[in-house]
Every structure is written in C-alpha cells, then in structure tokens.
Amino acid sequence: MARLLPPTLQILRRRCASRSHFSTAPSPVSPPSKAVLYDEHGAPDQVLRVADVPPVHLGDRDVCVRMLAAPINPSDINRIEGVYPVRPPLPGAVGGYEGVGQVHALGPAVTAPLSPGDWVIPSPPSFGTWQTYIVKHESVWHKVRSDVPMEYAATVTVNPLTALRMLQDFVKLNPGDAIVQNGATSIVGQSVIQLAKVHGIHTINIIRDRPGSEEAKDKLKQLGADEVFMESQLDMKNVKNLLGALPEPALGFNCVGGNAASLLLKFLRQGGTMVTYGGMSKRPVTVPTSYFIFKDISLRGFWLQRWMNSDKAEDCRTMIDYLLGLVHEGKLKYEMELIPFGKLSLALEKALGKHGSQPKQVMRF
C-alpha cells in the first residue's frame, strides 16, 4: 500500500508539479506573416517585394499583433530610397514606420494591461509595420481606443503629433494669435488648422496653384482655416494688406522650401519664427538679409523622430490619446484612402504621385 503524505506535503507536491508543467509548456508562436521587404535601397517599385515570413516564438514579455492598417508616408519612401537620416538595417528590411494592430497573443510574463483584441500602436513608432503579424516586446505597444476609424489610429503619430508639437514648442501662442503655413493641404497642414482652431488660434494658409485649387481652398475653410491664399496671389510687396483684421503671425510652418518659404516669411511679424519640418520642393530656403537685421526673424527646424528620442515616450502616448479623443469628437479629420494590402503596387503609385494628387494611402491588412 502506498504511504499517504501529510496534507501540507501533498499541496507542495501539486504546486511543484504545476510549476514543472508550466516551465515545459511551449511558448506561443505567431501565425505565418506576409511582409513588404527590401534588401537594397532604390526606387520602391524596383526594390520592394512581398514575402512570406515564418512563425516567430514569443518571448516571455513579447506581444504578437495582427496589423490592421499602416500608411505610406513620404518618410517611408525616403527610407526605402536610402535618403532618410535613420534607416532600418539591410538586407531584409520591412517597410513602414507607424500603423495600428490588434493584440493576437501575449507572452506568459507580459505585465502591460493588454488583452487579445485590444487595438495597439507602436509608440514611439518603430520600423516594420508593413506586415500582417508583428512580434515585439510589450514596451513597444500602446493601447489606443478602438471607437475611431482604424485609418486614424494608424496615422495619428507622424503627422498630427508633428502639428501639435510645432504649435506648442516654439512660440507661446495665446487665443487670438495667428500662425501662417505653406503646404496647408498636407495632413500636417490640415491638422494644424484644426488644432489651432481648438485653441482659438487663427491660421493663414498658402497652397500651390494647380487644378483643383479652389476646391482645396474650400475644404480648408470648412476645416476652420481663416484665410487661404494661392501662391500667385502673394506676388506683391505688402502681403499683410491681405490680412484684414487678423493679427500678423508670430509663427510660421514651412514644409515646402523655395519660393513657398519666401512667401511665408513675408507674413511674419517683427521677431517672428519660421519652423521648417519638410522640403517637398527640394529647393533651399533663401532669406533676405534684411529679414534678420530689421525684422529679427528666427529660423528653426523640427524633426519628430528626434523629439521622440529625447525621453518623450510617455508624453507622446498622452498626446496620442488626446489627438484620438479629438478624432472621436469630430474635431480632427483629414482625407485618406484605405486600400487593400493586395493592391500594394497601386497604393505605392498613388503615394509617389503617379496618379496625380491623391489622399494619404493607408494599407488595410
């Protein structure tokens, strides 16, 4: 007859057996994935390929995310071309930098308040969002609300956050003040208009002369723009006569360069600041000497990635929640096109401007 153990030892044996069983259990594995890869820098339509990626074992604190949507940003194209300052290592780089996904599986020791089905974004953003499943450490993922359109959750970081930071980081603006910007039809530009309106700031906006300019002007006005001028309207000495009752702007945002930057500078008041965050025209910013001497103009630059790398992760997440709250309230919106992942080639063509002016392309996985 087997000898019975005292009750305390029986409990201890059961606990040890349970722990032994837990320690030998296989770690969760991600499903097979499809990813947009490149092994060398070059034109996206020449170097990108869609490939199958094998399943990945999750570490103890890893989270497997099924991607829902990810945009094609100009900076994504620049990384693929090899002209962006920070790029993923080659070969085998996965495209994409921001996006939204749904928690699929959790490692056994994850402590973050995440559950399968939650919507998450990489925050700060990280390389490799153009794939169907991603496995990364829990610290990468930030849970976001799921009661907004997925394309907004996918695009909230790079462009709207840039707009918010520029409005807050350079000049103290008070309700009733004004800013001026070029590239106003961009998502950053549209976000600036709406965020400024929320805080009682007036916006003066400059857009290019092109077919559809009048329609674009009307759309910006509907978003809350106070004034919208085409570049050809500003070919005059004293553009400030166009402002009417609006104050001279203390702050300007330049994403174009060249002549568009020069037109923006005309509006700035004494001691004003122009912040450059892009150079779409690929032309230099040229400033008359008199602007420095007699107007004391300041020129600054803004790069979101540098800001996010300066111990701002928690601030970044708080601001993303704020921005998605505005989306939910209908106070922040911009034009995008959701396009199936299977139509990657078409989405890239549109993002590269091969089909004329197009809204932001967002891939749906």
The catalytic residues are 84
Q: Which residue has the tokens 């568009």?
A: 260
CB-count exposure of residue 307 (10 Å: 0-12, 13-18, 19+):
middle
Residue with tokens 């700060």: 124
Q: Are strands 298-301 and 273-276 parallel, antiparallel or unpaired?
A: parallel
What is the DSSP track for 17-67?
A: HHHHHHHHSPPPBPPPEEEEEESS-S-HHHH-EEEEE---BPPTTEEEEEE
- Enter the DSSP assignment of 85: S
d(CA 103, CA 114): 8
340 prior amide bond cis, ω within 30: no
Calculate Rg over the CA atoms of the chain: 25
**In this structure, what token pair is assigned to residue 233?**
């309207």
Contact at 8 Å (CB) between 212 and 189? no
